[in-house]
């Protein structure tokens, strides 16, 4: 089943985010290589695909996991969590309808 992982960053998290990004992307690429990743990316803090020093306000991942518990466990050990980038993380089942 698909699960949505939606995280909100702490204020002024850009430096922490950049430091943890390689490890974060490594985990996302593993999901992609396994064919389980639907979409992933950050929320720019301003209306721009490259917000520069304004940074980001959070992230969204939609991926396939065996259960809500597995999705939550995966989210709990994300490098951004461990680096203190995220203030909160919500994990919910997700049903893709379109496209």
Query: What number of residues does the chain have?
Result: 99
Q: Mind listing the pLDDT tens digit for each residue in 41-67?
A: 999 999 999 999 999 999 999 999 999
SS3 content of the chain, % helix, strand, coil (to 5): 35, 35, 30
Tell me the whole-structure pTM to 2 decimals.
0.95
pLDDT in tens, 10-27: 999 999 999 999 999 999
For the chain, strand residue ranges (E) read: 2-9, 37-44, 56-64, 86-94
3-state secondary structure of 80: helix
Q: How far apart are CA 19 and CA 22, in angstroms?
A: 7
């Amino acid at each position: 089943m698909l699960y949505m992982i939606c995280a909100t960053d702490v204020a002024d998290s850009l430096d922490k985010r950049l430091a943890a990004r390689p490890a974060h992307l490594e985990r996302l690429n593993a999901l992609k290589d396994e064919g389980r990743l639907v979409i992933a990316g950050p929320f720019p803090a301003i209306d721009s695909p490259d917000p520069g020093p304004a940074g980001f306000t959070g992230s969204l991942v939609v991926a396939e996991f065996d259960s809500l518990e597995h999705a939550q466990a995966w989210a709990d050990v994300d490098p951004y969590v461990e680096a203190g980038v995220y203030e909160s993380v919500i994990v919910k089942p997700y049903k893709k309808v379109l496209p």
